[in-house]
Structure 1
C-alpha cells in the first residue's frame, strides 16, 4: 500500500538514524579509527559504561473513550502508563510526563536518567510516563478509520490527563489531584499540552514545564527550515541552496529525458512524481532536529550530510565529478565559471542520497511505493506510527513543511514542496466517514485559542533551544510579539544557546557531568519547581485555614 509503508519506515527515521550512528561510532571506536564525523565531545573525563536501564512495569488505567458530551461514549479503554516511586517521600509531588505522539515506552529513559528522575530525586516525588491515546498500546477504538479517529483531539487528550490525575491509584500510594501537587511536563506537541493543561486546569496541575512547546498551530510552516539555514555551516547551506535551485531549474524544463537522467543520478530513477522526488531529497534535513547534546542520544547524520556537500574528508576520486549530461545539455549557462568545486559537491550530494535515502526503500519494493504520495491505505492499529499524528496535524495543527512562499527567501528545499503538496495526505489518507470528516484546512483556531505565542501563566515554564526548527511555533518565536519576555521563577522563560528540540528532557546517570548549559537549565528547573511546590503548599494551607475559620464562624453563629 503506497506511502503507508513509507511512513511506517520513515516515521521512526530519527530513531533509525540515531541507532545507525551509534553502530557506526562503536565500529570506529573498536577499530581505533579516526572519528572525523563525530560530534565534538565535551571537555570532561570519559564517562564509565552506562548501567542497564531499570525495568519499569507497564500499568493500565481505565480511561474514558470520550470526555465530550457532544461526542458521547460510555465506554472505556486501557491507557498505559509507567511510574517510578523509588524517590518518593511522604508529601512529595507527582511529575506527569506526557509521552506525546509516540509509543510511551520510548520515553522510559526519562524515568531513570532524564527529567523525571532529576525532579523526583530533588523533591521526593513520583515520576509517571503517560501514553497518549491512539499511540503505543493505548487505543480507544479497534481501528483507525476516519470515523474511529473522531476521539483523537488535543482537548480529549488533555482531559485524559485530568481524569487520570484525579483517579489513578498508584499501588500503595494515594497521590490523586488536587490533594497532591501534580506538575505536567511535555516536549514539543506534548510541551504545548503541558502549557494548555496548566492554564486550563490550574486546580489539577500545580505547575507545567513546556519544553519546545509548539503552542501556535500554523498551516504553512515553511519556517521549519529557517533555524537550519541560519545556524548550520554557511558553506553547507550555500551549497544546498544552489543545488536545490539547479534541480528546480532542470525539472522546470519539463523534459522527460533530462528529468529521468536527474533522478537516476540521485539513485531515485523510479519515482514518478517530480514533487515526490524532491521530497525525498529533503529527508536529510530532518536529521538536524535529531541532534542532541548527548551523542549517545542524538544523531550526527546532519554533520555527515554537510561533509558530503562541502567535500570535507571525502575522497573526490571515488565520485563522478564530470559534468552530468542533463546539466551540460539542459542549462549550460547555469554552470559556474569554475564548475569543478560546485560539481564535486553536487556529485557528493547525489552520492549521499544514493547511500542514505534511496536505500530506505527495500530492493523488492518499487520506489513509488516507498516515496510516492498518491495513495494511502490501512486502517489497522499497526498503522498508528504514521496515521495518528497525521490525523492530528490534518485536523488541528497544520505544520505543512515546505519551501518559503517568497522567492526572495533562499530555500533549502524545492519550490515544488508547497502546502498543497505536503497537505494532500489529509484527504487521501482520511476519506469522509459517516460520523467524522477531516476539514478542508486544519482548524488551527482550536489550538491557538489557548494563547498561541502569548501564552503565559503562573507556574508555567517555557524552555526552548535557539536552533530548534520548531522555535517559530513557540513563544520564543522571532514572530512572537514578545520573544524576549522576562524570565522569572514564577513564569520561567529560558532559551538554551545552541539547543535543538527539548534538550532538557534527557539527562545522564547520577554522578556523570552534563555540559554546562544543560546542567544549568536542570538546576533552574529544580529550583523553580521547589519554589512552586512551596507556593502550592502555602496556598493549600491558607485555603484549609480559611475553610476552618468559616466552619467556626458558622458554628459560633448557631450558639450566639
Structure 2
C-alpha cells in the first residue's frame, strides 16, 4: 500500500508521544482530538492603569492545546490565536490547516491558545459589565506574550524550555484573531519572533457599509439586482411612512409579528448576512475546499432567479405593485418564500417569531440582552461596542443596497446600551452611547500596521477586506514581500488545508507556499541572530 511521505512523517513522529497531547489518528494520519491543558493567566496585565480600576491582581485558567507530531528539538513554536470561539473549534488548523502546513515544513510545534472570555477560559463566573472590563485588545495580546514566556508542553522533549524569546514563536490568526496576531507582533516584537495575520481586521470603524460590497460586485448579478430593487421598494414605503404597505410586506415574508422595522430588515438580510448575526451560512462562509464550503448563499440566489418558479410564487411579485406606481417587485415571491422555508424554521414556533426566544427574530428586549451569563456572543458584542465597531450598515439612498436603510447606527448601538448597563465598580467599562472608542484599536497602526516579521494576507472578495490591510480605503499602495492579496478569495481562506499543498487550487497553493517561504526566511534570520534574544521583559 502506498503511503505519502507526509503521512509517514506524521505517524513516525506521533509514535514518540503519549496520547496525553493528541487523540487517536484518523484515516488521514492526523490526530482526531487534542487534550486541553490549563495555563495560569493574569487577569490584569496593567495593574496601574485607570482603565481597569479597581485593578485585580488575580489569575484565571486559560486553556491551550498542542500538537507535537512534527516537532523536533530546535523547531519553532506556532501559536494559533483562538479568536472569538472555543479552542476546540480551531482543531482543524492543527490537523490539516495552516498550522499543520507550517509545522510539517519546519519541524515545529503547533499550539492553540483559547482567548480570554471564550470557550472555557473565563476570568469570572459571569459577564457583568464590571467583569468584562478586562476584555480588551491590549489585555488579550498581553495574554499571548505572557503565555509565550511561561508555557510548558508536557512529554515533549525540552517542553519545559520552549518559551519565548529563547525559542522562535510565530503567531497565526484569522479575522479578529488576525488583528490580535498583528497587534501582538507590533507590541511585543522583542518577545514574539513573527506572525501571519490572515484577513486581520486591523482598522476599526464605527459604521461599515462596505461589508456588502464584495457581494454586490461578485455575486450573481441577476440575483443581486433583484434584491437591490426589492430593498429600494421596501425603503420607499418606509420613507413615505406607508404603514399599511409596510405591514403587508412583513406579512408576505411571514414576519408580520415583528414590531421593529430594524428587526424586519435584519431578518430578511439573514441569507446575505444580517448585521452582527445570522442563522444560516452566507457569503462569508463560502470556501475553496468543498469540505468547508457552505453554498447556502448560492442556493438563496438560485431561488430568487428561478425562471421556473411556480405560479403561486411569482404571483406575489405583483401583490404590492399598486404601492409602487404599477412596478412589479420581481423576485419578491421567491425571496419571501426562501425566508419562510429556510430562515423562519430556525424559530421553534411561529407564535414566537416576534420574540427574543433563541432562533427567533426580535431584538427588542432589554432584559434579554442584559443577561450576564458567560457566552461567546456576549463577549463579542462587548468588544464590538467598546473597541471594534464595524456596525454593518446599508448604502445611502441612491446607491444600490442589499440591506434596508431601516438599519442605522442606533439600531446596533441600542444592543450595547441594553446589554452593558453600569455596575457598581467600573463606570469606565460601560460602552459609550456614542459608539466604540476606536483609538484603543487603531493605536497599533490601522491600515499602516507593520513590523519586521509581520505578514499580512487578505482575500480579494472578503466581506471584511475594507477593514483589513488591503482595504480599498488604505492610504498607500500595498507593496512588499510580507503582504499578499489572494484574488477572488474569501475570509482567511489560507487557514484551510488538505494535507497536500501540491494538490490545492493554484491560488491557494501559491498562498501557502508564500507563507512557508516567509516563515523559513524568518527562521533563517533567527539562526543568524538568536544569540541576542535571550532576555525576558520584566513587566510580563
What is the TM-score of this pair, normalised by structure 2?
0.86
Trace 1:96-245 onto structure 2 (pairs within 5 A): 96-172=79-155, 173=159, 174-245=161-232
2:345 to 359, 370, 386: 359
SS for the counterpart of 2:94 is helix
- Is the 2:502–2:509 Cα contact (8 Å) retained in structure 1? no
Which residue of the partner structure matches residue 384 of structure 1?
375
Q: CA deviation at 1:542?
A: 6.0
CA displacement 1:476-530 (0-9 Å, x = unmatched): 0111012x42231xxx110111101000111113488211111111111111101
Q: 1:511 to 1:393 in 2, by over 3 A?
A: closer
Count of residue pairs the alignment pairs up: 483
- Is the 2:317–2:333 Cα contact (8 Å) retained in structure 1? no
Which residue of the partner structure matches residue 19 of structure 1?
none
Which residue of the partner structure matches residue 332 of structure 1?
325
Larger Rg: 1
CA RMSD of superposed structures (Å): 2.0
Which residue of the partner structure matches residue 270 of structure 1?
257
Trace 1:334-483 onto structure 2 (pairs within 5 A): 335=327, 339=328, 343=330, 345-363=331-349, 365-369=352-356, 370-376=360-366, 377=368, 383-404=374-395, 406-434=396-424, 435=426, 436-440=429-433, 441-482=435-476
CA displacement 1:513-550 (0-9 Å, x = unmatched): 21111111111111110110110221123678xxxxxx
SS for the counterpart of 1:178 is coil
Q: 1:472 to 1:543 in 2, by over 3 A?
A: closer
CA displacement 1:214-270 (0-9 Å, x = unmatched): 110000111111111111122111111101011112333434432222111111121
Structure 1 distance, partners of 2:73, 2:515, is 21
- Asked if residue 538 in structure 1 is aligned to residue 521 in structure 2, the reply is no
- Asked if residue 65 in structure 1 is aligned to residue 43 in structure 2, the reply is yes
Which residue of the partner structure matches residue 301 of structure 1?
296
Structure 2 distance, partners of 1:375, 1:366, is 13
Q: 1:200 to 1:323 in 2, by over 3 A?
A: closer
Q: 1:439 to 1:449 in 2, by over 3 A?
A: same
Which residue of the partner structure matches residue 516 of structure 2?
526
- Is the 1:142–1:381 Cα contact (8 Å) retained in structure 2? no
Deviates more, 1:460-469 or 1:414-423: 414-423
Structure 1 distance, partners of 2:114, 2:190, is 22
- Is the 1:374–1:428 Cα contact (8 Å) retained in structure 2? no
Structure 1 distance, partners of 2:67, 2:27, is 23
Q: Tell me, which stretches of 5 or more residues in structure 1 are unaligned? A: 1-47, 545-560
SS for the counterpart of 1:91 is coil
Q: CA deviation at 1:203?
A: 1.3
Which residue of the partner structure matches residue 63 of structure 2?
80
1:498 to 488, 493, 506: 488
- Is the 2:207–2:409 Cα contact (8 Å) retained in structure 1? yes
Deviates more, 1:92-101 or 1:73-82: 73-82
Q: 1:169 to 1:322 in 2, by over 3 A?
A: closer
CA displacement 1:406-441 (0-9 Å, x = unmatched): 334221110111111122211011111121322232
CA displacement 1:138-175 (0-9 Å, x = unmatched): 00011011111111111101111111100011113121
Q: Tell me, which stretches of 5 or more residues in structure 2 are unaligned? A: 1-25, 274-281, 535-540
Structure 2 distance, partners of 1:297, 1:543, is 40
Q: CA deviation at 1:108?
A: 0.6
Structure 2 distance, partners of 1:58, 1:254, is 56
CA displacement 1:280-312 (0-9 Å, x = unmatched): 111111200110101211210111111122225
SS for the counterpart of 1:461 is strand
What is the TM-score of this pair, normalised by structure 1?
0.83
Structure 1 distance, partners of 2:142, 2:67, is 23
